[in-house]
């Protein structure tokens, strides 16, 4: 039962004029001050082949040296390396995270090159979504890791986009703000550059790749955004080394045939990129990421999980009820799985038991067989023993008999000789 | 003023690093200082620990502040304020004086008769006011009938219901699958409670109301019609009120738990010493010393509303509008709304069971707590 709230008959809002200075014009400042003390997060993803100049460009853009070793070319797959830095300029604290694609374009089979990138972006969205769906959440001091801008480095071939580029950009355009840039632009001559740029843009359009559009709805920035958009994709040169030009030191690359000045708009579009990325549209990039890309991800994810906004009777679903239903469903599934597993377990146990019984029976049989064999052998042995004993006995008897005979014979012989002797003796007497 | 959930430790990561690196460089200046070694983190899914970096020159990061300002000015602001108090305490006049225009319900509905209603009703009036390019959609919710009955038991219930209803509305919008780009914010950001100038102490009604409501909304108590109190009486009354609030553990705005850093605390302590502000409302101008000022003309003098020596209206206005408006909204969003959300999502019952109509089952759109 809603509380009866009286509202004026006409529901449209009326504009009032103030008769004095109220003071809420300080509101934007209040808001900004709060954000300043909290700090800003900005996350850039650099997608490009190894050695195309991603790290150097980051160093040049943010006027500092982010320590990083160059990657090798023999990575087995694409992996993403994220580093965070804290930058401070006057009273603005920026938590900058630069994500690098290590090993992009190095493999022989590049079919799956885009997958780790998409997974990483989705993982950041997922982390934010999980935090948002928590019951006890703390969104206001959540360290936002979602990618706000993706700088796609196009190799300066001078002809057209590689198919790897097209495929990757197509996969990424609905997830992140893509800003394509032509890297190492000092290898392209001016007239070729113009052709290259228009070829790239027409290829992107014909393949339906949605790159980031600089916003033109705000009068203050519409003009500059419109003029800069014409120069897309920006052809940039990065350098952290300084060369003396005239009487100033400027960032440049020195060649035997001349010096390419990074901040000279005639030489390359680096200044434009810096303007667009940092000085004019940083906030818009963050906003687009949150309101467009993240919302799309969230919608898809929740729909995938089965949540709907309205049921077939077009009455709004309560998320609570859906949660309940989902949870019950989930628990039911778990229960089912548990029962299945239990059944399987019982079955397996039975089988094993049967097997074991079989084995046991076999073993018994073998044992019996062995025993019998053993018995037989034993009997044989006994028999043989008996035989041998008998033989031995008979032999002994024979021996004894023989001996007896011999002794008898001897005795008889000796008796005979004794008799003879006696006879002889008798004769002699 | 940054709102922090009570019990949260200060965010160590931020505070730790920045004091080491001093004030940054002026634009156009090139410095060759060596950069700090950033810490390297390998696994991409783990949030890497940040490292400080020295900038060699002007990058233009601070332009993001202007970008934000432009964006917020374009979208405009919303502010919802509720005034609660017995009739005759000068609520409508006060609101008109605050916003220097006729925003109160009396002014916008002149045809309605003034009669004390039998039950507490809530009436909202919405206006769009603009100042120096900043547009604000201001909603003032009045509560005629509060505390006016003979039996005032539970007169705060409709108010609590209303506040929770706004939270519910916002929550429903927030959990939709397809959300609006900008969720309309009707949550009450501040509730100004008018204390009658008895000069003694808070009445039971005041205590009950403030106790219940300070848990769900920012309550700013003010002493109404303060021109009936002398300065000494005023000071005594304030002390008594502060003691009463402390005894009953009622935390009014600015709440101590939500002070983010020491600067905030110092500032808010100063404000807390002066709470509740003794205010006088007036919407007529008079001539004083050759200037036109807002004030009340009496036989014994003119009470200037904007004179800090006369009453504390400027303090109230500065608190509500000029310095802490965004803070009020932040605390409402980060603390009160979040605790409502936690309560709501922890409910295991279906939300549609309504004891009043006694019908179990699906009842969309209504929310009873």
Task: Return the number of other C-beta atoms located less than 10 Å from residue A110's C-beta.
Answer: 17
Minimum-distance CB partner of A22 among B99, B122, B162: B99
Decide if pLDDT at A167 tops 80. Answer: yes
Report the candidate in A275, A261, A288 with the shortest Cα–Cα distance to residue A232: A275
Query: What does the alpha-carbon distance between residue B234 and residue B242 come to, in Å, rounded to a whole number?
Result: 12
Contact B108 A8 (CB under 8 A): yes
Query: What does the alpha-carbon distance between residue B185 and residue A395 come to, in Å, rounded to a whole number?
Result: 125
Q: Mean of the pLDDT values across residues B221-241? A: 88
Report the candidate in B63, B238, B363 with the shortest Cα–Cα distance to residue A1: B363
Work out the mean pLDDT of chain A and round it to a whole number: 83
Q: What angle do CA A179, A184, A106 make, to 5 degrees?
A: 80
A280-311, pLDDT tens digit by residue? 888 889 888 998 999 999 988 888 877 666 54
Contact A30 B56 (CB under 8 A): no
Query: What does the alpha-carbon distance between residue B317 and residue B141 come to, in Å, rounded to a whole number?
Result: 18
Query: What does the alpha-carbon distance between residue B351 and residue B47 come to, in Å, rounded to a whole number?
Result: 37
Interface test with A, best of B40, B65, B96, B366 (most A CBs within 10 A): B65
Query: What does the alpha-carbon distance between residue A373 and residue B188 come to, in Å, rounded to a whole number?
Result: 99
List all residues 6 or more positions away from A116 whose beta carbon is below 8 Å from its beta carbon: A77, A78, A79, A80, A101
Query: What does the alpha-carbon distance between residue A167 and residue A207 come to, in Å, rounded to a whole number?
Result: 9
Q: What pLDDT sits at residue B327?
A: 86
Q: What pLDDT sits at residue B267?
A: 82
* pTM higher than 0.80: no
Q: What pLDDT sits at residue B108?
A: 58
Cβ neighbours of A279 in B, within 8 Å: 60, 63
Strand, helix or coil at B234? helix
Decide if pLDDT at B204 tops 60. Answer: yes
Contact A24 B18 (CB under 8 A): no
Counting Cα atoms < 13 Å in the Cβ hemisphere of B160 gives: 16
DSSP 8-state secondary structure symbol assigned to residue A186: G
Q: Which is more confident, B78 or A423?
A: B78
Q: Mean of the pLDDT values across residues A347-364? A: 94
Q: Mean of the pLDDT values across residues A338-362? A: 93
SS (HEC) of A393-426: HHHHHHHHHHHHHHHHHHHHHHHHHHHHHHHHHH
Q: What are phi and psi of A48, to 5 degrees?
A: 180, 165
User: Least CA distance to B292: which residue of chain A?
Assistant: A20
Q: What pLDDT sits at residue B118?
A: 65
Q: What pLDDT sits at residue A227?
A: 85
A243-268, pLDDT tens digit by residue? 887 788 888 888 898 888 888 888 88
Confidence of residue A343 (pLDDT cuts 50, 70, 90): very high
Confidence of residue B18 (pLDDT cuts 50, 70, 90): very low
3-state helix, strand, coil in chain B (%, to 5): 35, 15, 50
CB A22 within 8 A of CB B320: no
Q: Evaluate the CA torsion angle B102, B104, B108, B112 in order and state its sign.
A: negative
Q: Mean of the pLDDT values across residues A220-230? A: 83
Query: What does the alpha-carbon distance between residue B234 and residue B222 come to, in Å, rounded to a whole number?
Result: 12
Cβ neighbours of B357 in A, within 8 Å: 1
Decide if pLDDT at A429 tops 70. Answer: no
Decide if pLDDT at B114 tops 80. Answer: no
Q: What pLDDT sits at residue B22?
A: 35
Query: What does the alpha-carbon distance between residue B304 and residue B267 come to, in Å, rounded to a whole number?
Result: 26
Q: What pLDDT sits at residue B51?
A: 59
Q: What pLDDT sits at residue B56?
A: 67
Cβ neighbours of B102 in A, within 8 Å: 16
A89-104, pLDDT tens digit by residue? 777 888 888 898 888 8
Tokens found for residue A427: 């004769």
| Domains of chain B as residue ranges with CATH | 1-57 (no CATH), 76-345 (3.40.50.300)
Q: Which is more confident, B100 or B192?
A: B192
Confidence of residue A161 (pLDDT cuts 50, 70, 90): confident
Minimum-distance CB partner of B38 among A83, A95, A308: A83
Contact A63 B334 (CB under 8 A): no
List all residues 6 or more positions away from B365 whose beta carbon is below 8 Å from its beta carbon: A316
Decide if pLDDT at A205 tops 80. Answer: yes
List all residues 6 or more positions away from B152 whose beta carbon is below 8 Å from its beta carbon: B205
Q: What pLDDT sits at residue B47?
A: 41
Task: Return the number of other C-beta atoms located less than 10 Å from residue B64's C-beta.
Answer: 26
- State yes or no: ipTM above 0.85: no
Q: What pLDDT sits at residue A322?
A: 62
Q: What pLDDT sits at residue B355?
A: 33
Locate all alpha helices (DSSP H) within chain B, ordered by sequence.
12-17, 63-75, 91-99, 105-108, 157-174, 204-213, 231-247, 262-274, 313-317, 325-331, 337-346
B24-66, pLDDT tens digit by residue? 333 333 333 333 333 333 333 334 445 566 666 777 777 888 8
Confidence of residue B359 (pLDDT cuts 50, 70, 90): very low
Q: How many angstroms away from the CA of A318 is the closest CA of chain B? A: 8
Q: Mean of the pLDDT values across residues A413-426? A: 74
For chain B, count helices (H), then strands (E).
Answer: 11, 10
Q: What pLDDT sits at residue A386?
A: 92
Decide if pLDDT at A111 tops 50. Answer: yes
Report the candidate in B155, B105, B153 with the shortest Cα–Cα distance to residue B125: B105
CB A164 within 8 A of CB A33: no
Minimum mean pLDDT range among A317-321, A402-406, B42-46, B274-278: B42-46
Counting Cα atoms < 13 Å in the Cβ hemisphere of B336 gives: 31
Q: What pLDDT sits at residue A311?
A: 47
Minimum-distance CB partner of B128 among A6, A15, A274: A15
């Amino acid at each position: 039962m809603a509380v009866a709230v009286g509202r004026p008959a006409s529901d449209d809002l009326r504009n009032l004029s103030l008769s004095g200075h109220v003071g809420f014009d300080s509101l934007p400042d209040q808001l900004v001050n709060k954000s300043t003390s909290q700090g800003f997060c900005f996350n850039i993803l650099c997608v490009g082949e190894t050695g195309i100049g991603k790290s150097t460009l980051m160093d040049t853009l943010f006027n500092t040296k982010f320590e990083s070793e160059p990657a090798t070319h023999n990575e087995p797959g694409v992996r993403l390396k994220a580093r965070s830095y804290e930058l401070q300029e006057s009273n603005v604290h920026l938590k900058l995270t630069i994500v690098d694609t290590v090993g992009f374009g190095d493999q022989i089979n590049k079919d799956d090159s885009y997958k780790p990138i998409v997974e990483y972006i989705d993982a950041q969205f997922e982390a934010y979504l999980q935090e948002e769906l928590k019951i006890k959440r703390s969104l206001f001091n959540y360290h936002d890791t979602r990618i706000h801008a993706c700088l796609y480095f196009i190799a300066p071939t001078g002809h057209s986009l590689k198919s790897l580029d097209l495929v990757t950009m197509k996969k990424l355009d609905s997830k992140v703000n893509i800003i394509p840039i032509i890297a190492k632009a000092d290898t392209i001559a001016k007239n070729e550059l113009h052709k290259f740029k228009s070829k790239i843009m027409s290829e992107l359009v014909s393949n339906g790749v949605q790159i980031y559009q600089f916003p033109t709805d705000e009068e203050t920035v519409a003009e500059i955004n419109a003029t800069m958009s014409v120069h897309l994709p920006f052809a940039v040169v990065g350098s952290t080394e300084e060369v003396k030009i005239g009487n100033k030191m400027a960032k440049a690359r020195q060649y035997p045939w001349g010096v390419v000045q990074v901040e000279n708009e005639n030489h390359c579009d680096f200044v434009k990129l810096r303007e667009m990325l940092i000085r004019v549209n940083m906030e818009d990039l963050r906003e687009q990421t949150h309101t467009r890309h993240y919302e799309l991800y969230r919608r898809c994810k929740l729909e995938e999980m089965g949540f709907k906004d309205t049921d077939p009777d077009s009455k709004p679903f309560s998320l609570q009820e859906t949660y309940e239903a989902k949870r019950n469903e989930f628990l039911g599934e778990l229960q089912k799985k548990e029962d299945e597993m239990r059944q399987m377990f019982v079955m397996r146990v039975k089988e094993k038991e049967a097997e074991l019984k079989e084995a046991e029976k076999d073993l018994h049989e073998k044992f019996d067989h062995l025993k019998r064999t053993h018995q037989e052998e034993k009997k044989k042995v006994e028999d043989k023993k008996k035989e041998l004993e008998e033989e031995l006995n008979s032999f002994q008897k024979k021996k004894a008999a023989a001996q007896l005979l011999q002794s008898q014979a001897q005795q008889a012989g000796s008796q005979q000789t004794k008799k003879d002797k006696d006879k002889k003796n008798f004769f002699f007497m | 003023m940054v709102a922090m959930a009570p019990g949260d430790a200060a965010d160590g990561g931020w505070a730790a690093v920045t004091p080491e690196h001093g004030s940054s460089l002026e634009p156009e200046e090139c410095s060759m200082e060596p950069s700090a070694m950033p810490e390297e983190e390998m696994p991409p899914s783990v949030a890497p620990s940040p490292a400080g970096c020295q900038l060699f020159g002007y990058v233009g990061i601070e332009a993001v502040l202007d970008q934000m300002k432009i964006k917020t000015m374009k979208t405009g602001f919303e502010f919802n304020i509720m005034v609660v108090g017995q009739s005759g305490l000068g609520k409508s006049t006060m609101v008109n004086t605050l916003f220097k225009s006729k925003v109160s319900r009396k002014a916008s509905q002149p045809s309605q008769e003034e009669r004390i209603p039998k039950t507490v009703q809530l009436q909202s009036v919405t206006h769009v006011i603009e100042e120096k390019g900043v547009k604000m959609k201001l909603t003032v919710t009045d509560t005629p009938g509060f505390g006016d009955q003979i039996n005032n038991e539970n007169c705060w219930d409709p108010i609590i219901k209303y506040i929770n209803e706004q939270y519910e509305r916002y929550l429903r919008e927030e959990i939709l699958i397809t959300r609006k780009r900008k969720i309309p914010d009707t949550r009450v950001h501040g509730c100004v409670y008018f204390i009658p100038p008895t000069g003694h102490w808070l009445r039971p009604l005041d205590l009950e109301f403030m106790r219940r409501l300070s848990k769900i909304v920012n309550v700013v108590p003010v002493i109404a019609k303060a021109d009936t109190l002398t300065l000494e009486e005023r000071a005594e009354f304030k002390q008594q009120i502060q003691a009463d609030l402390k005894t009953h553990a009622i935390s009014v705005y600015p709440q101590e738990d939500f002070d983010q850093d020491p600067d905030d605390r110092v500032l808010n302590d100063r404000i807390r010493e002066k709470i509740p502000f003794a205010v006088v409302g007036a919407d007529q101008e008079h001539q004083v010393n050759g200037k036109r000022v807002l004030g009340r003309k009496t036989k014994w003098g003119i009470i200037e509303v904007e004179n800090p020596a006369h009453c504390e209206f400027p303090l109230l206005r500065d608190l509500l509008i000029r310095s802490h408006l965004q803070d009020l909204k932040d605390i409402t969003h980060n603390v009160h709304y979040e605790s409502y959300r936690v309560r709501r999502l922890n409910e295991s019952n279906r939300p549609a069971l309504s004891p009043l109509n006694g019908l179990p089952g699906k009842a969309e759109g209504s929310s009873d707590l």
